[in-house]
A and B are shown apart, each in its own frame.
Chain A
């Protein structure tokens, strides 16, 4: 029994350690708040979106792939035809350039590490670089 407890204890600490660093954890916490305020209405609480209207954020290339493209969607919005898993999405997304670099980094880090996504965080510096390019 004691051995089992030790094994479980080890497993828990490995899982905890494999989670991100304290600072990125704080970032994701702030990101959740930004998500709730600006993103949840369309992309829904589970990140599943609305069929054929607002795209899902779950395990798609748009979220987990090219960071520059993802940052640009938040900064510039999106009104191009997009297809995810064979479905098209019709509602345009507004620009969220009013969020500062830290806020964009926070919300994208939150999205990339939730809803079944396991991608790494995005830093304010990365957002700043994309914003500077216009």
Chain B
């Protein structure tokens, strides 16, 4: 009898556990929100975009069966994505929809694809190339972007460098002054959405001093560009006399900026320090941890803990979520690596309440649990890394993961 009972218990345990996908994690959100997986196993899914008919577009950083963009569609309208279309033969991170076009970027070019009235791609294999010949030196090479309402596209051209040293990432190497990288990178360039084959000469360096801005969004409420910036690495490792291990993990701040034409965000000369609330001169330029730097640079709206990697920014315009979320900023933090040997941080979605384009309160973690771990000591053990955000026509928030290629949909249940 005991044997039978044991086998029965073992069997039921097996059934109960196999019903759950081994990779699934529980996503924690504030009360009233629920999360479902709407896509998975698409590999390195970076940014995403949701069309008015519910189609999900994903930009891949690694080709999947030779393709770099995937569209998921719910053909029979039963709430499950049942149709997959793959196209585009290039890797990259940027993707967005605007006024009947799908925009996507490689690490050196930006393309757009016309959509017909049925929201089908007119010619998925023959996009219009609107921007070309941007630098791609592998480090910070993703050409993420945002679109405004006046026919412009704002392209992040990240610095192929940590802090513009004469020898990149070489301990003891001085910062270049002036930093020659700023001419062709470390900034946001503005181009036209409807002009073909634009190069640097056709664009405008809209804002500079930006090490790498993976998150960009146009804030419709105030009609201005908002960006998140990845701060520099290695303050503790390269300057242990100025920054202890804990300070090196917390600094410099990751940042959220409102940028206007002509603005400078201070890289490589200074970094933001959210403890001192100051732009601190980088040690490679003579800083000592206290001296201020980059006097003409603007300050961020928010400074977050160091190295969390803000990979996507979305200014929420929907009506589905409670009113306090409207016009606020969601940020997807990919998770850190430069906090070792301290535990890594991030791997969550943050919300910054905003009104009239300015924060109205402290930032808060909105969705957590993506890593699947209580404490992250080794990145190899992390299950998911949030990388992209998009808003559905119904006001739902979508989150992508570039570790296992998941997409979640977060809804508010009235």
Binding site for B on A (CB under 8 A): 36, 40-42, 44-46, 48-54, 56, 77, 79, 81, 86-88, 90-95
A-B residue pairs in contact (CB < 8 Å), sample of 25: A41-B233, A41-B237, A44-B337, A44-B340, A44-B380, A45-B378, A46-B378, A46-B380, A48-B378, A48-B380, A49-B379, A50-B337, A51-B385, A51-B403, A54-B337, A77-B170, A79-B168, A81-B138, A86-B62, A87-B62, A91-B169, A92-B168, A94-B167, A94-B171, A94-B173
Binding site for A on B (CB under 8 A): 44, 61-62, 138-141, 167-171, 173, 233-234, 237, 337-338, 340-341, 377-380, 385, 403
- B341 cross-chain contacts in A, Cβ below 8 A: 36, 40, 45
Q: A38: shortest Cβ distance to chain B, in Å?
A: 8
Q: Are B403's CB and A94's CB within 8 A?
A: no
Q: Are A90's CB and B337's CB within 8 A?
A: no
Please classify the interface of chain A as helix (H, G, I), strand (E, B), loop, or mixed, using the class held by over half of its residues: loop
- B170 cross-chain contacts in A, Cβ below 8 A: 77, 94-95
Instruction: Given the known inter-chain contacts A40-B340, A41-B237, please indicate yes or no for A50 contacting B379, CB distance below 8 A.
Output: yes
- A50 cross-chain contacts in B, Cβ below 8 A: 337, 379
- Cross-interface CB contact of B379 among A41, A44, A86, A93, cutoff 8 Å: A44
Q: A20: shortest Cβ distance to chain B, in Å?
A: 26
Q: B32: shortest Cβ distance to chain A, in Å?
A: 34
Q: How far is the CA of A54 from the CA of B233 in the complex (A)?
A: 13
Given contacts A40-B340, A41-B237, A90-B139, list 10 more A-B pairs with CB under 8 A: A40-B341, A44-B380, A45-B377, A45-B378, A46-B378, A46-B380, A49-B379, A56-B380, A90-B140, A95-B170
Q: How far is the CA of A93 from the CA of B169 in the complex (A)?
A: 7
Nearest B residue (CB) for A86 = B62
Q: How far is the CA of A42 from the CA of B380 in the complex (A)?
A: 13
- A46 cross-chain contacts in B, Cβ below 8 A: 377-378, 380
- A88 cross-chain contacts in B, Cβ below 8 A: 138
- List 8 A-B pairs, minimum CB-CB distance, nearest first: A48-B380, A94-B170, A50-B337, A90-B138, A46-B378, A94-B169, A41-B237, A90-B139
Q: A51: shortest Cβ distance to chain B, in Å?
A: 6
Q: How far is the CA of A50 from the CA of B233 in the complex (A)?
A: 14
